[in-house]
Structure 1
Amino acid sequence: MQLTKLFKLKLSSFQIIILGFALLIVSGALLLMLPIATVSGEVTPFADTLFTATSAACVTGLVVRDTGTYWSIYGKTIILLLIQIGGLGVVTIAASLTLLSGKKISLMQRSWMQDAISAPSVGGIVRLTKFILQGTFIIELAGALALIPVFLPDYGFRGVFLAIFHAVSAFCNAGFDLLGRNNDLYPSLVHYRANYWLNIVVMLLIIIGGIGFLTWQDICQKRWHFRRYRLQSKVILLTTLLLIIFPAIFFYYVDFAALPTGERVITSLFQSVTPRTAGFNTVDIMSMSDSSRAIIVCLMLIGGSPGSTAGGFKTTTLALLFANAFAAFHRKEEPILLNRRIENPIIRTAATIFLMYLLLCLGGAIFISTYESLPLFTCIYETASAVGTVGLTLGLTPNLHIASKLVLIALMFLGRVGAMTLIFAALNEKKLINSKLPKEQIMVG
Structure 2
Amino acid sequence: MNIHFIAIGGSAMHNLAIALQQKGYHVTGSDDAIFEPSKTRLEKQGLLPPQQGWFPEKINTHIDAVILGMHAHADNPELIRAKELGLKIYSYPEFLYEQSKNKTRVVIGGSHGKTSITSMILHVLHFHKKEVDYMVGAQLEGFDVMVKLTEENDFMILEGDEYLSSALDPRSKFLLYQPNIALISGIAWDHINVFKTFEDYIEPFRKFVGSIVPGGVLVYNEEDTEVIKITHGAENYFRKIPYKTPPYEIINGEVNLITDLGNIPLNIFGKHNLLNIEGARFICQQLGIMAEDFYEAIMSFKGASKRLEKVNRKDAAILYKDFAHAPSKVKASVAAFIEQFPKKKIHAFLELHTYSSLDPVFLEQYAHTLNGVENAVVFYSEEALKIKRMEPLSPQMIKNAFKNPELKVFTHSGDLHTYWESLNKNEGAFLMMSSGNFGGIDLSQ
TM-score, structure 2 as length reference: 0.26
TM-score, structure 1 as length reference: 0.26
Report the structure, 1 or 2, having the larger helix content.
1
Report the structure, 1 or 2, having the larger strand content.
2
Highest RCO, 1 vs 2 (Cα 8 Å, sep ≥ 6): 1
